[in-house]
Chains A and B, each alone.
Chain A
Amino acid sequence: MAIDQKVIDKLRKEPGMPDIDLSWLREEDAPGIVAKMGKRGLTLDEINVGVYGEVPELAGHGTTRGRGSAPRASVARTAYFVPEKSDIWADNATLIYEEAVQRQWSSATDIPWETIEPLPDVVEEAICQICTFLTEVEFIAGDAPGQWLKQISPDHYEVALYLISQVMDEARHLDVFRKRALVNGCGLLEAQGATRGLRNILDAKDFTEMSALMHVLAEGFVQTMFRTGEFIAQNEAEKTIFRLCAQDESRHVGFGVMHLRYVLEHAPERREEIHHYLDRAEQLFGHPTDGINSGLQEALLITMSGGMKNLDKGAELALALNKKQANEYMHRLEVAGLGDRRERMNPAFGMLLDPPKN
């Protein structure tokens, strides 16, 4: 709605009115935008219209000014943001953020905890070892994007909102696995420690590096593990935990793939740099059977075997899990535009790849 200049002038000169400035009122024509609700409600995509939807390639100011609002000259700078859109953007950020908000769940009330009954000791202990590992992993998965929040400009606020939703997801994952470990008499077991691969994610100095290592590589692997979790689940509570966590993790992977695609399309000169990050990450992440996470690997083996018998069957299923992890990682890189990764993938992962379809 445009503000009539005569009205502003009249207000300023009204007898008896305190000395008011009113400079915050728009004297020029306002955009005249009315956002309309869609099938999913009033989402960010619905309000990203007109000038409000014009995402600048470069965030040129260091203030908290929201995109579409009028600048004020005396405002202090508050941060040093990552200015380039191509360094942080993903075209699905709004969709995934809204979806994350819609599909939130509560570890306190949405998990049928009452379905957990006493289990054979070795199975309970194995599940608790897996939970111990996952509480650590999820702690890091919350920490890593959290480090980047303050560097996202309000001009690119969609990415910040997505990252905040991810931090919330990871907090819930940490708490739900901790709860599972404590709910049946076993508790947390041996800490696996932030392996070099996970430490590498925290140490990333570039957003795309962090995203490729965490969203595409690490969370891709964890997503596959969560899906497998429904098979090793002993009760309805565990099935629900793993299914809901897999959903959340898929959003994170989806953001990472689309970010990587955006970077490769808009800054193709970064291709070799990204390969370099992945060269190092794959080396540090290590082969799943290299003993770095022996507690986790043995616990997975026991749960997949259903106990200490049939360990051969468990080993077969664990290998199937590793193959799915490696192949899905490669396929996601192909979607992102990094199909040439196949030729230089670390042999520990490369040996698990199926031949290319074409």
Chain B
Amino acid sequence: MAKFPSIEWFKAIQDVANGDDRLRKLGTCDAVMGVKVRDKAYEITFEAFDCTGVREISEADLANTDFYLDMPYETWREMLENIKQNGKPDRQYTLNTIDFLAPEGFAKSDDQSKKDSFYRYGQTFQQFFNASAEIDTEFAAPATA
């Protein structure tokens, strides 16, 4: 059981994703993705055919990623629970749909060209988060802030 969000949780889905041939078959992916959940920030690196690195970073370091995913904690939880339930998201919870429905967007970057890598490797990132269906996730207590 890995707690979301935590470095252990991201490493757990990194292991599942890298161990699944489907990620490799999607083709090369070269991008540094940030993830922001409440006051925590993570950097997930994709290089060639694998997810090659996961680490916790400061919020300020998100500016050094190609783009970062940022949404309310409850939406993260709903998305991950939906993926767990179905093995993949239904249409309301795909990364692209969440991005479309969020007024400020889900993927964020000051550089649109770098942000476009979120869409360019969309299937790879979706596959990465779909890997969370293979692990048991413990969610943190409801936010107080």
Q: Which residues of A contact B (CB under 8 A)?
A: 38-40, 95, 98-99, 102-104, 223, 227-228, 230-231, 233-234, 236, 239, 242-244, 246-247, 249-251, 253-254, 257-258, 320-321, 324, 328, 331-332, 334-335, 357
Contacts and interface: CB of A to CB of B under 8 A. Distances in A.
B78 to A, nearest CB: 16
A-B pairs, top 4 by smallest CB distance, nearest first, are: A102-B27, A331-B112, A103-B27, A250-B120
A231 B91 contact: yes
Contact of B119 (A233, A246, A258, A334): A246
A227 B99 contact: yes
B111 A335 contact: yes
Given A243-B96, A254-B116, A99 B28 contact: yes
A227 B112 contact: no
B100 A324 contact: yes
B145 interface: no
Contact of A328 (B28, B97, B112, B121): B112
A239 B91 contact: yes
B96 A230 contact: yes
A249 B122 CA distance: 11
Contact of B116 (A242, A253, A320, A321): A253
Interface of B: 26-28, 30, 47-49, 88, 91-92, 94, 96-97, 99-101, 103, 105, 110-113, 115-117, 119-123, 126
Nearest to A336: B113
A321 B120 CA distance: 18
A335 B111 CA distance: 7
Given A99-B27, A243-B126, A231 B116 contact: no
A242 B94 CA distance: 12
Given A254-B120, A320-B103, A230 B48 contact: no
B110 A357 contact: yes
A258 B48 CA distance: 21
Nearest to B117: A250
Contacts of B27: 99, 102-104
Contacts of A334: 112
Given A99-B28, A102-B28, A243-B126, A227 B96 contact: yes
Nearest to B110: A357
B94 A247 contact: no
A296 B101 CA distance: 20
B120 to A, nearest CB: 4
Contacts of B99: 227
A40 B52 CA distance: 13
Contacts of A39: 47-49
Contacts of A102: 27-28
Contacts of A95: 30
A40 B97 contact: no
Nearest to B92: A231
Contact of B123 (A234, A247, A257, A324): A247
B98 to A, nearest CB: 9
A250 B116 contact: yes
A103 B25 CA distance: 8
Given A40-B28, A239-B91, A324-B100, A332 B123 contact: no
Contacts of B116: 223, 250, 253-254, 257, 332
Nearest to A240: B123
